[in-house]
Amino acid sequence: MSSYPNQGLSSMVHAADKTRWRLLLAPGWSRRLTGSLVVAISGIFLCESTSLGWDGGQSVTQSTLSNRDPALMTILQAERSTAGSEELQSAWQTVSQWPTERLSEVLDAADEANPVALNWLRTAIDGMTEQPGFELPVNMLEQVVQDTTRKFASRRIAWDLLESAEPKLMESIAESLIADPIATFRRPAIQTKIALANTFEKGSVERKQVLDRAFGAARDEDQVGEIARMLETEYGEKPDLATHFGYVVDWHVLGPFPNIAEAGFHDSLAPEKILLSDFDSQGKPNPELEYEGSAGSLKWQTHSAVSDTGEMDLNKVLGNEKEVVGYGVSIFNSSQERSAEIRLRMQNAFKLWLNGELIQSQPIGHTGNSFDQYVIPVSLKKGQNLILIKSCQNKPPQEMEWYDVWHLNVRICDASGTAIREGE
């Protein structure tokens, strides 16, 4: 196997007890899982825990497993090495033929399953629902969806089953999920609010009340944008998107530094040694700090990102160049020690440090441009937190417009995607 140039990998791992499962997940999971044992690496989670199954934060002990049906126990222990085992296939066959009454048992197991085992369970549930005589237990599933103490896995399965069979019911359930801790479930609630707003006359007070409520609850970029546009065009109010999303707007930027043949990504350059002590109480870097860049001496410059998008265009402030590295640094004041997520939309290869610790290293650039493309669970300390990001512009392999992008785009929020504001 080839090595992946992911420098500082070990430094990004929060050592968490003894490893039983070592799972690498997509950022989508981080939006739904609030587990304290989740650590992100390169936009993909590296999880370590003492649990025997994936629980998103709650350990599954051997004794818990032993109380389960043997078929479920077998499935819960599915992993790469057991992919095609006859024992697993047999367990799947067993569960897929269970009657309606045992669906809740499978949903409970789903909340303890690692991502691979979850897919064994999910498809077994499909098999169950196709058995002759299977009747969807609508009330039970409705309760599961609305039970915010349950894990994402069972709630999502329950939602999916109801959505395909009881779309009208789901509309009514959706409304109750507007403040759900998981953004996935808020989405349909916001959709019902937008639909409700559209039943009122444009410019009416009733419509605005609904839109205000929807805007406050919305977490997905497209929904927030849609509501913001309605509020602005109809009521002349321009919502503060930077505050809503928690974009880091105030940056001190530095560059360019050389990135010939992408060596700058790997090189540990002088700005990476910056310390919190180099900043004053207002979050401004020492004006004496000076660095040797690609074309002479460089100092930190203060610039603001576009508040609606969080976009800090380095081409505009550091020069439209290729094969260069730029840095951005920002101080975030937290009123308390707390868990949080740093989320990025980054088209460039980058490295991210929090309080001097490398927490993300992403060597791949120009491969997509999505909201919350990288999600990194972090711990903020009380007081000033130093966020340092290195953004690497490479030599474009082709003449394409998107290769010109050289930027920073960072926000700070909690696991539900709700912005954490300075001082909170």
Enumerate binding residues for other proteins (CB under 8 A): 1-2, 4, 6, 23-28, 31, 41-44, 80-81, 83-84, 88-89, 92-93, 96, 115-116, 118-120, 122-124, 126-127, 130, 156, 160, 164, 184, 187, 220, 363-365, 367-370, 373, 397
Nearest to 109 by CA among 147, 161, 71: 71
The minimum distance between CB 30 and other proteins, in angstroms, equals 12
Contacts of residue 375, Cβ cutoff 8 Å, sequence gap at least 6:
27, 30, 31, 40, 43, 341, 342, 343
Distance CA 28, CA 48 (A): 18
The CB-of-380 to other proteins minimum distance in angstroms stands at: 26
Structure tokens at 227: 């509501």
Three-state DSSP at 23 gives strand
d(CA 138, CA 101): 12
* Closest approach of other proteins to the CB of residue 290, in Å: 34
Length of the chain: 424
Nearer to other proteins, 41 or 173 (CB): 41
Minimum gap (Å) between residue 151 Cβ and other proteins: 13
As a whole number of angstroms, the distance between CA 365 and CA 407 comes to 11
CA-to-CA distance for 257 and 252, rounded, in angstroms? 15
State which residue, 132 or 397, has the beta carbon closest to other proteins.
397
Sign of CA dihedral 167, 170, 171, 172: positive
Nearer to other proteins, 82 or 307 (CB): 82
CA end-to-end span of the chain: 45
Query: Could you tell me the smallest distance in angstroms from the CB atom of residue 161 to other proteins?
Result: 10
* Whole-Å CA distances, 204 to 197, 201, 350, 373: 10, 5, 46, 37
Q: For residue 316, give Cα distances in angstroms to 3, 91, 400.
A: 35, 59, 19
Is the CB of 10 or the CB of 243 nearer to other proteins? 10
Closer to other proteins by Cβ: residue 90 or 204: 90
Task: Using DSSP, state whether 40 is helix, strand or coil.
Answer: strand
CB neighbour list of residue 336: distance below 8 Å, 6 or more residues apart = 382, 424
**What is the secondary structure of 325-343 as a DSSP string?**
EEEEEEEEEESS-EEEEEE
Nearer to other proteins, 368 or 383 (CB): 368
Q: Which is nearer to other proteins, 182 or 231 (CB)?
A: 182
State the nearest-atom distance from the C-beta of 63 to other proteins, in Å: 27
Closer CB to other proteins, 163 or 234, in the complex: 163
Q: Which is nearer to other proteins, 44 or 306 (CB)?
A: 44
Q: Which residue has the tokens 């610790």?
A: 357
**What is the C-alpha separation between 122 and 119, in angstroms, rounded?**
5
Question: At closest approach, how far in Å is the CB of 249 from other proteins?
Answer: 24
Look at residue 55 and give its three-state secondary structure.
coil
Choose between 103 and 118: whose C-beta lies nearer to other proteins.
Answer: 118
Answer positive or negative: Cα dihedral of 255, 256, 257, 260.
positive
Q: How far is the CB of 203 from other proteins (least distance, A)?
A: 29
Whether 50 and 18 have beta carbons less than 8 Å apart is answered as yes
Minimum CB–partner distance for residue 261 and other proteins (Å): 13
- Select 330 or 394, whichever has its Cβ closest to other proteins: 394
Provide, rounded to whole angstroms, the least separation between the CB of residue 119 and other proteins: 4
Distance of closest approach, residue 397 Cβ to other proteins, in angstroms: 7
